Structures are given as C-alpha cells and as structure tokens.
C-alpha cells in the first residue's frame, strides 16, 4: 500500500466505493436489516448481508453460487444508468415482511429466506432482470426478454402475464429517460394482496435509433440504441393492471393537462410517467407533460382503468420531485413535493409543510405516523429529520456532514458521512444499538478542504492547498475542479472521492478550487431556476467570480495561471469556460462533455432549454460547437468511445468544428469506455495525464 499513490488507489477502489454498505432495507418490525457490501475496499463482488441481533451475517456470495456468466443486455443497461461500479449482487427485493429475498445473478433467479439463509436457484425459461416478490412471498415477478413473467417461489407455474408485441416493446422495464433523467428505476408494482400488478409498458419504436461502435474492435458490429435526443420523439408509455388470473386492464391516462402555464413553449401532452406504485389505497401514478410544467397525481381504479386526479402541480419553469414522493400516510393523507420557495414536502391531509428555508433532498419512509426525510438548511450539509403530528419536526443528526437513513419499526439505520469518514449506526428507539461495518479504504492523500462562502451570491466553495505550502513562499497556479450542474453538489462537508482527488492535485503544486454555483441543488428554487433558458452563462460567471473572490482572500493564488477540469456537465463547463472567459481560464480538460445540447436526452435538456425547434436560440447560445472558433487557450477533450449517455458524437463534432476553425486542441479517446470510467490503467492514467497537460499549459 505504501508504494501506491492516490491515482492508483482511486482506480483500484472504484473511487473508494468498494466496501461501502448500501441498499439498506429494514423489516417492518425493525428486527432485520438487509444490505449490500463488497468483502473489502478492493473486492468488486457485491455480497448480500443481514444484520440481526447485533451481528452481521453473509446471506449470499455470488462466487460460492457459481456466478460468472454474462449479464443480460437489459441488466447491463440498467447498471450503466444506475452508475453501478461493482458486480455480483448489485440489487435485491423483498416481500413485505422482509423474510424472502430475491436477486438475479448473470440472468439467473435466486431466492432465500432470512431465517434459513441458503440461496435457492429458481429455474426460468430465459434471463432474469429486476425480480420482485409478491408481498406475501408466494410468487416472484420478473422481466425476461421484454416480457413480464411470474413464478411461484417453489419454482412452479412460471408463465408470462404480458409478452412484447414487437421487439421494441417491453413490460416492466424503464425507458432511457425514466431511468437516466427521472430516476424511476421500478416499472412494476405488486398489489398488496399479491393478485395483480401495475406495469409500465414501453414502446421504443418512435425513438430514433443510434449506433455506438467500438473503433478499437472493427470486427464487432455497432450496438443499436434508442436515444431520445432533445426535440425528437420519446418512447410511448402506458400503464396496465395485470391479474394473475389472466385479466388485463388498460389504464386510461389523461392525454394532456387541462389547465397549463403559458410560456414560450407549451406542450401539455403527458409523455412522462414519473411514478407508478400500488399501496393499500390502490394503484396510483404521477404523469408529467412534455414541457415538464404540469404533473397530475392519479388514483387508478384497478377494475376499470379509470383515473381520478388527486393532486395537480404546475410551475412556470419546470417541476422537480423529491425522491420518495408521493407517499400515503396511515392517516390517509398524501405527502407530495412543494415547488414554491425552497423545495419541500406538503402533507395534503393536514396542510403541513416543511419549514421555509429547509431544502428537502429525499423522503426516506413512513413508520406509523412518523415521516423521515433528509434536508438541509446549510447547502454543504444534509441531515436526517422526522415529522410526527403533535411533535412536529425534529432533526436527528448534529455533526456537520451528509446523513441519510433507512427506517422500519422502531429501528433507524443512520448512514453518516463526515470529513472524518463514514459510519453506519443502528438506532433502536432513538438509542445506538450497534454498527454496520464500513470497509472502504481511506485515501492515501488525506483531504484538507477549507470551506468558504464567496462573493455577493454567497457561493459555497472548497479550497485545497498543498500540505507543505507556506504563505509567501511562492504563488500557486489554480486548478478549478467543479461539476456545478443540476442534481449534484461537490461542496459538501462529507467524505467523498473528489476531496481526495482535489487534494492530490494540490500536492502537485496547485491551489484547487471547487464551486457549487447557480443551478446546483441545496439552495432554493430561484437558485436552481437561474439557469432556465441559459445553462452556461450563469454557471461560468459563478466560477469566474469565485476565482476572483478566493484570490482576494488568498493573495498567494496566481490568477494569471488558472486551469479548469471536469467530467460530464463539469467537462461542458470546463470547455465553455475557456471559450467564453479566456481572461480568467487559461487551460481546460473537458471529459465526456455534452458539447451539442441537441444531442442530449429530451427530459434532461428540454427541462432547462425548452424545445430546440421552438427556442433554438437557447441551444445556439449554450452549445459549444457553435462557438468553437472562439478557442484561444489549450484544451484537451477526453471521451469514452462506448458512452451511450453522452455519445462520442459530442466530442467528435466539437473537435471537427475546432479543426475547421483552425483551433489547435488535444483529443484523448478512451477505447471501450462508457460514461462511467472505472478501469484500472485508465482511471489512474487519466488523472496523471490531466496533471501533465495542465502543468505544460500553465508552465508550472
């Protein structure tokens, strides 16, 4: 270990994600906790564990079960969308009592009982994806080759409830937009009685077909993918109630919103299914319009398919939904997302809202009359909260950091990340009752960020300086490493891979700065909406303002030598920064950058930019390809050639435009790599190549 530097450790630990317990499920009685974890900080095989009576017990080891086969294509896609870095058991599902557990390994179906602990393979006629048992544990539903099938837990009576009418049709799987941009990974739900399921049908045939090839393997045919780029057709989604007795009821979804906000682009057609589930009150769904400014929460009559609108939401810009909502409380009220002021929760039965200024990240669950959720009042932290009628709101965590939890009965599994590391504590009736081990490695380069609030907009930032640096000794060139896009914060007071990477860059003789600007979560809706119609200019302005502001606090920073680097939206920001603000940013490394915004998916881009045929000026302003002629600074473009999220066409079109404009630049294609680059020998080398490029560009 002593001979290993941070880049190699970073690669071998998959960004320090290995050995971290995750995927917690707490039984309703609070006695059992299921979770996933690899055997160490270097093992890439996910194992299924049980925590009970203060002890951890291994339930399923894929290697002992003979796993080693090929993962089905549908499962490979699901893992890519989920940014899954491990193999083995990567997901599981349980019955209502958390006694029966099912999972898939390389397309084979496995089941076990927590009170027995011996996995049994259940034979199926085809490869298995997304298995889920009925609430009583008597049957298992799963997807195989686009069909939704059920089988008894003893392996008998395997049959299809719905089979695809066309190769482009699937039952029970998420389409690209739902999994990538809406975070809806579940596409079928059992009735509480286990006699029927609510199922999403996806017809991908309207979606344009793209081809992703591997230029390093010319003998292999390209892979066809259905990709709904901005302004093009989405998959057609429908909902169906499928009974075990063979009945099929088509759900009568509304075609378009009846009352809808006016604006430059108005499309009231309901094209998105945000949520679909079945609870004790019956099946329900949330549908959203194409322009994302209206959404209806619908109750579904399972016998007729008729729908009744329970709740409507509208927003002049776009709607976002707190993960975990909507949910029904035992008292019969619904918990939904509020869109005004700071993103929060509304309990429709009582009219109670989370306090203004509290930004809710996720609704964790309901036990009895008590709600659990994560929220922040200070953007660099996230805490676990509860709400109970009569008691009100209570914060359950105190230490600065990012906290989350899983709940069941009187048990709370508290997952806490602070700057000192990560701990998982099991609480019973509010008192510590044990811990679940965290086996991830500590970085060999210890992060030492200084958290700052910069400028008039009070930008949250973190600055990393070399450990041995003495003020006044010499001026430090600056490396900005920000994501600063929607859905992700990097300036958090919690253990995270980017803290270690930024500190490693600092130890090479730099001051490293990361900034969460406008458009990032954790502040309020106005902060997020500031990028509506222009996803580039405000973001670059915030980075430039932060560089100036931090230099006023730390005169040893050399603002005449500033580089910027990032991946995905961070790569887009980096390339945009040297195009539009070469006075501040003197070199850039742009990884997996979406340079032509018309090539990114409908839901994610139209949310911020509108429809490209109606508001083309937004795409022209914010796409990098159109501004390639402005490049005057050193730029390196890095891209995975098997990326099916930000397709390699982004990098190639931008490079072609730069070449046509006579602008020198560097291109680094990664053969066989997807949007999530994790391979040892690539991940570590990339960090060193970034460093080498920046040093040469800044004459450092």
Q: What is the mean pLDDT of residues 626-632?
A: 98
- The DSSP bridge pattern shows strands 87-88 and 431-436 to be unpaired
Q: Which of 334, 248, 253, 329 is nearest to 295 (CA)?
A: 253
Q: Note whether 313 and 353 are within 8 A (CB).
A: no
Whether 1 shows a pLDDT value over 60: the answer reads no
- How far apart CA 595 and CA 586 sit, in angstroms, is 19
Average pLDDT of the chain, as a whole number: 95
**Cα gap 604→487, rounded to integer Å:** 11
Report the distance separating Cα 530 and Cα 337, nearest Å: 20
Query: Is CATH 2.120.10.30 the right assignment for the domain spanning 17-163?
Result: yes
Cα distances (angstroms) measured from residue 662 to each of 308, 649, 651: 60, 20, 16
Q: Using CA atoms, how far apart are residues 478 and 494, in angstroms rounded to an integer?
A: 23
Residue 497 DSSP code = H
Is 347 a residue whose pLDDT tops 50? yes
The residues near 651 (Cβ < 8 Å, ≥ 6 apart) are 592, 593, 595, 637, 638, 639, 667, 669
Q: Which residues of 670-698 are buried (b: 16+ CB within 10 A; e: fewer)?
A: beebbbbbbbeeebbbbbeebbebbbebb
Contact 20, 438 (CB under 8 A): yes
Q: Residue range 491-520: average pLDDT?
A: 98
- Banded pLDDT at 68 (limits 50, 70, 90): low
Integer Rg of the chain from CA: 25
Does position 657 have pLDDT exceeding 60, yes or no?
yes
Say how many residues make up the chain. 700
Q: Does 71 score more than 90 pLDDT?
A: no
Residue 154 backbone dihedrals phi, psi, to 5 degrees: -85, 5
Using CA atoms, how far apart are residues 499 and 6, in angstroms rounded to an integer? Answer: 12
pLDDT digits (tens, 9 = 90+) for 247-272: 999 999 999 999 898 888 999 999 99
Instruction: Please tell me the CATH superfamily of domain 450-698, with its number.
Output: Alpha/Beta hydrolase fold, catalytic domain (3.40.50.1820)
Q: In 3-state terms, what secondary structure has residue 71?
A: coil
Interval 192-206: pLDDT, tens: 999 999 999 999 999
What percentage of the chain exceeds 90 in pLDDT?
90
CATH topology of domain 334-439: Lipocalin (2.40.128)
| Model pLDDT, residue 510 | 97
pLDDT at residue 405 is higher than 50: yes
C-alpha closest to that of 64 among 123, 140, 118, 127 = 118
Kindly state the average pLDDT of the residues 405-411. 97
Does the structure show a pLDDT above 70 at 684? yes
Token pair in block for residue 645: 């999220």
pLDDT (0 to 100) of residue 158: 97
388 and 373 Cβ atoms separated by less than 8 Å: no
Residue 371 has pLDDT above 70, yes or no: yes
pLDDT at 84: 80
The confidence band for 332, taking pLDDT boundaries of 50, 70 and 90, is low
Per residue in 98-137, pLDDT tens? 999 999 999 999 999 999 879 999 999 999 999 999 999 9
Domain ranges of the chain: 17-163, 177-319, 334-439, 450-698
pLDDT value, residue 329 = 87
Give the C-alpha distances (Å, rounded to integers) separating 664 from 655, 670, 671: 9, 20, 22
Using one digit for the tens of pLDDT, what is the confidence trace for 216-225? Answer: 899 999 999 9
In terms of DSSP H, where are the helices of 224-275?
A: none
pTM of the entire structure?
0.95
Percent pLDDT > 70 in the chain is 99
pLDDT digits (tens, 9 = 90+) for 547-559: 999 999 999 999 9
Residue 83 has pLDDT above 80, yes or no: no
Q: Which of 233-237, 560-564, 635-639, 642-646 has the lowest mean pLDDT?
A: 642-646
Does residue 2 have a pLDDT over 80?
Answer: no
Q: What pLDDT score does 440 carry? A: 98
Rounded mean pLDDT of 11-38?
Answer: 97
631 — pLDDT class (breaks 50, 70, 90): very high
């Amino acid at each position: 270990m002593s001979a290993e530097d941070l880049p190699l450790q970073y690669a071998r630990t998959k960004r320090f994600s290995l050995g971290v317990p995750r995927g917690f499920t707490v039984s309703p009685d609070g006695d059992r906790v299921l979770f996933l974890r690899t055997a160490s900080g270097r093992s890439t095989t996910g194992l299924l564990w049980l925590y009970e009576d203060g002890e951890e017990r291994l339930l399923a080891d894929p290697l002992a079960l003979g796993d080693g086969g090929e993962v089905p294509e549908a499962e490979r896609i699901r893992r890519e969308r989920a940014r899954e870095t491990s193999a083995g058991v990567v997901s599981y599902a349980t019955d209502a009592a958390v006694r029966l557990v099912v999972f898939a390994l390389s397309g084979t179906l496995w089941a076990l009982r927590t009170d027995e602990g011996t996995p049994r393979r259940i034979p199926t006629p085809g490869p298995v994806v997304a298995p889920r048992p009925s609430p009583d544990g008597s049957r298992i539903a799963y997807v195989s080759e686009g069909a939704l099938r059920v089988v008894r837990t003893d392996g008998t009576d395997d049959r299809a409830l719905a089979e695809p009418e066309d190769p482009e049709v699937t039952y029970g799987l998420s389409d690209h937009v739902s999994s990538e941009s809406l975070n809806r990974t579940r596409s079928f739900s059992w009735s509480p009685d286990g006699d029927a399921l609510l199922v999403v049908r996806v017809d991908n045939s309207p979606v344009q077909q793209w081809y992703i090839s591997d230029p390093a393997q010319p003998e292999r045919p390209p892979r066809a993918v259905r990709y709904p780029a901005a302004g093009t057709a989405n998959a057609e989604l429908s909902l169906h109630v499928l009974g075990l007795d063979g009945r099929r009821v088509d759900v009568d979804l509304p075609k378009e919103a009846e009352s809808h906000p006016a604006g430059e682009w108005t499309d009231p057609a309901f094209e998105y299914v945000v949520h679909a589930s079945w609870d004790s009150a019956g099946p329900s769904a949330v549908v959203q319009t194409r322009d994302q400014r209206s959404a209806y929460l619908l109750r579904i009559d399972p016998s007729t398919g008729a729908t009744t609108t329970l709740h409507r939401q509208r927003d002049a810009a776009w709607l976002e939904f707190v993960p975990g909502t909507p949910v029904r409380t035992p008292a019969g009220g619904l918990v939904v997302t509020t869109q005004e002021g700071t993103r929060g929760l509304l309990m429709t039965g009582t009219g109670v809202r989370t306090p203004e200024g509290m930004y809710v990240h996720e609704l964790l669950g309901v036990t009895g009359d008590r709600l659990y959720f994560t929220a922040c009042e200070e953007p660099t932290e996230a805490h676990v909260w509860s709400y109970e009628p009569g008691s009100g709101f209570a914060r359950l965590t105190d230490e600065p950091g990012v906290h989350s939890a899983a709940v069941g009965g009187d048990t709370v599994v508290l997952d806490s990340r602070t700057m000192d590391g990560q701990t998982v504590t099991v609480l019973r009736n509010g008192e510590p009752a044990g811990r679940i081990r965290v086996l991830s490695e500590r970085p060999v380069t210890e992060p030492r960020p200084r958290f700052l609030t910069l400028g008039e907009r009070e930008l949250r930032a973190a600055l990393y300086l070399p450990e041995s640096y003495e003020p006044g000794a010499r001026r430090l060139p600056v490396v900005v490493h920000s994501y600063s896009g929607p859905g992700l914060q990097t300036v958090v007071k919690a253990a995270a891979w980017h803290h270690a990477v930024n500190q490693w860059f600092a130890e090479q003789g730099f001051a490293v700065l990361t900034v969460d600007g406008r458009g990032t979560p954790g502040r309020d809706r106005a902060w997020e909406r500031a990028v509506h119609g222009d996803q580039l200019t405000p973001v670059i302005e915030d980075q430039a303002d932060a560089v100036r502001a931090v230099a006023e606090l730390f005169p040893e920073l050399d603002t005449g030598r500033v580089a910027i680097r990032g991946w995905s939206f961070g790569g887009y920001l980096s390339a945009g920064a040297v195009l539009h603000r070469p006075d501040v940013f003197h070199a850039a490394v742009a990884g997996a950058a979406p340079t032509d915004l018309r090539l990114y998916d409908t839901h994610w881009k139209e949310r911020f930019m509108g429809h490209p045929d109606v508001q083309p000026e937004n795409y022209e302003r914010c796409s990098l390809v159109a501004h390639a002629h402005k490049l005057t600074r050193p730029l390196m473009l890095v891209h995975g050639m098997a990326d099916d999220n930000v397709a390699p066409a982004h990098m190639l079109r931008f490079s072609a435009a730069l070449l046509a404009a006579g602008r020198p630049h560097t291109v680094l294609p990664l053969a066989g790599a997807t949007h999530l680059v994790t391979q040892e020998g690539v991940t570590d080398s990339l960090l060193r190549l970034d460093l080498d490029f920046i040093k040469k560009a800044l004459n450092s």
